[in-house]
Structure 1
Amino acid sequence: MGFGSYDESEQETQERDEDENAEAVSVHENEHDGEVKFESDMSTEGLVDKLDKIKDTDDEDDD
């Protein structure tokens, strides 16, 4: 057989080691509608200024 080809008869007889009685995993099990809070003495403007300085420093490091 060439590259990428397969024998379809082999696909029909594949065995799986899956436990048919296993419970499904719920991706919504740990969801919650919470809120995030943090305390800071800095104003929003001060935080934005600090972020701008960090970005400027990162830009200088990339050069």
Structure 2
Amino acid sequence: MGFGSYDESEQENQQSDTDLDDSDGVSVHQNDHDGKATFETGASNEELIDQLQSMKDDGDDE
């Protein structure tokens, strides 16, 4: 078998625990937020684009 290969019989023989208790899960709606989030950067779009380009250029040096 090569890298990334698997024996299909292993897949068929796996057992899963189907006796899960609902209380073991996490509620994804526990901390829902219906408000609005805003922030001020203090920089213009042009300054932000220049900063992004500078960061991209620095990443090319690695």
- TM-score normalised over the length of structure 2: 0.50
Higher gyration radius (CA)? 1
* Count of aligned residue pairs for this structure pair: 50
The equivalent of 1:25 in structure 2 is: 26
| 1:20-39 deviation digits (Å, cap 9, x = unpaired) | 58475321111213333222
CA-based RMSD of the aligned residues comes to 3.1
Runs (5+) with no aligned partner, structure 1: none
- What is the identity percentage for the equivalent residue pairs of Structure 1 and Structure 2? 38
The equivalent of 2:60 in structure 1 is: 59
Q: How much does 1:54 deviate?
A: 0.5
